[in-house]
Amino acid sequence: MTHYLTKAASEDADWTIDWATKGLGADTIQSFTYSVLPAGLVPADPSHTDATTTLWFSGGTPGMRYLVKFVVTTAGGRELPDSLTIFVTG
């Protein structure tokens, strides 16, 4: 499922995903990866708990939309994907 976030180019914004609502069940998060396209939006400070992931974003070009793809790897070896579209304003 794709989520949407609007942020100003001058603002830092965080995004937290609660994977317990996305099929995590009793499993726990072991790690997660992310990618941002196109270049220009800066991801920072990735962190996770047993059931959530958080990533901060800064910069970006006003008027641009960025796609952030997340993949969580669970302790049980499953991979769970999700995505976020970020629209940057002036």
Name all domains of the chain by residue range, CATH numbers in brackets.
2-89 (2.60.40.10)
Tell me the backbone φ, ψ of residue 21, rounded to 5 degrees.
Answer: -90, 5
**CB-side neighbour CA atoms (13 Å) of 54:** 9
Structure token digits, residue 63: 């008027």
Q: For 5-40, how does the pLDDT look when each residue is reduced to its tens digit (9 = 90+)?
A: 999 999 999 999 999 999 999 999 999 999 999 999
Q: Sign of torsion, CA 38 40 41 45? A: positive
Q: For 24-33, how does the pLDDT look when each residue is reduced to its tens digit (9 = 90+)?
A: 999 999 999 9
CB 75, CB 81: distance < 8 Å: no
pTM of the model: 0.92
Distance CA 32, CA 38 (A): 20
